[in-house]
Amino acid sequence: MNLAVRVGAVRLANPIMAASGTFGFGPEYQGLVNIARLGGIAVKGVSPGPWPGNPPPRVWETEGGMLNSIGLQNPGVEVFCREDLPFLRTTKTRVVVNVIGRTIDEYCQVVERLEAESGIDALELNISCPNIKEGGMSFGQDPEHAAQVTRAVRACTKRPLWVKLSPNVADPGAIAAAVERVGADAISAINTVVGMAIDVKRRRPALGGISGGLSGPAIKPIALRVVYQVAQSVSIPIVGMGGIRSVEDVVEFLMAGASAVMVGTATFAEPGTMEAIIEELPGYLARLEVSSVHELIGAALPGR
């Protein structure tokens, strides 16, 4: 069974990748997950300098999902290149670097610094994280800003450029179309959904960051609808994610129009989720009577 897929110029051995922020910088799950088996991994968001993130508590369980307010803590692109990239270069999988910034300039700083480095297969522009007030979010909130930051980054690099969308907008298709026009090579969708919880004992917001990002199976319907809508708005490939934990979930995303998927929250409870899905995928495809992943991509779209 042919599991290989392409996301633009990036060829993946299979469509299952680890989602940014849930798989650290690669080595954390060593011994628990065989990275070489994965289609790829997206590392935690990287900014120009170190970002501190939010005060704890940073996670809170909710029905069918969880909230996080990590706040994009990361050591900055210098430390990333020095301490994390060497390990990532040794992994036999695709490495996607998630890029964050407070300003267009900061996005470009990160991307430019990465130009000198080998071992990076794609950049994922995170214009959608709800945990950061000074900009990150707002770039993902209207087509014009999204296009601005994408255009600027596009000018700094020839690397495959994926733009990761926020679901917290009325029309994600319009944003996808805007970034496609200025040179995005793929769309990642979705980032977490803004939410919050109240700690009734303390009578306060449960998270240190007050609001946070909802992820996990609870958001799968939201993610599928974004993918389905974006697939009808652009012709570049889509990397789908949001609540995936089974091979059936993956097939839903493929049929909605995704060329590949990422698994995030599910890895926390079951580190073996991604490998189990890769294991089960051939048999599942056979039962659907298709001979490649490719045949399912967009199968549920209108006119198909």
Q: Note the residues at the interface with another protein (CB under 8 A).
A: 21-24, 28-29, 31-32, 44, 52-53, 56-62, 64-66, 68, 70, 73, 216-217, 265, 267-272
Residue 288 interacts with which of another protein, a copy of itself, ligand FMN, none, CB < 5 to 8 Å by class: a copy of itself
Q: What is the CA radius of gyration of the chain?
A: 18
Query: What 3-state class would DSSP assign to 90?
Result: helix
Determine how β-strand 212-215 pairs with β-strand 193-195. Answer: antiparallel
Residue 27 vs 183, nearer CB to another protein: 27
Residue 116 vs 170, nearer CB to a copy of itself: 170
What tokens does 177 get? 């179309």
Residue 204 interacts with which of another protein, a copy of itself, ligand FMN, none, CB < 5 to 8 Å by class: a copy of itself
Phi, psi of 61 (to 5 degrees): -75, 140
Query: What 3-state class would DSSP assign to 26?
Result: coil
Q: Is 299 in the site for a copy of itself (CB under 8 A)?
A: yes
Q: By C-alpha distance, which of 155, 174, 173, 176 is closest to 164?
A: 176
Smallest gap from residue 57 Cβ to another protein (A) = 4
**Binding test (CB under 8 A) with a copy of itself, winner from 78, 83, 105, 248:** 248
Q: Which 8-state DSSP code applies to residue 196?
A: -
> Which x/- pattern, by CB under 6 A, does the window 263-282 give for ligand FMN?
xxxx----------------
Question: Where do runs of H (alpha helix) occur along the chain?
Answer: 77-79, 85-90, 104-115, 143-156, 172-181, 220-231, 247-256, 266-269, 273-287
Q: By C-alpha distance, which of 71, 75, 26, 20 is closest to 47?
A: 75
What tokens does 226 get? 């974004």
Which residue of the chain is nearest ligand FMN when measured via CB? 21
Residue 93 vs 168, nearer CB to a copy of itself: 168
**Binding test (CB under 6 A) with ligand FMN, winner from 101, 216, 240, 298:** 216
Residues 169-208 that bind ligand FMN (CB under 6 A): 191-192
Tokens 């306060």 correspond to 204
**Do residues 149 and 107 touch, judged by C-beta distance below 8 A?**
yes
**Binding test (CB under 8 A) with a copy of itself, winner from 91, 103, 211, 233:** 211
What tokens does 138 get? 């707002």
Tokens 């992994």 correspond to 91
Residue 108 annotated to the active site: no
Rounded distance, CA 156 to CA 299, Å? 35
Smallest gap from residue 124 Cβ to a copy of itself (A) = 21
What tokens does 109 get? 């700083």
Smallest gap from residue 216 Cβ to ligand FMN (A) = 5
Total residues at the site for a copy of itself (CB under 8 A)?
43
Residues that are catalytic: 129
Binding site for a copy of itself (CB under 8 A): 62-65, 67, 141, 168-170, 193-198, 200, 203-205, 211-212, 214, 216-222, 224-225, 228-229, 243, 248, 251-252, 255-256, 288, 296, 299-300
Binding site for ligand FMN (CB under 6 A): 19-22, 44-45, 68, 70, 72, 98, 126, 129, 164, 191-192, 215-216, 219, 241-244, 263-266
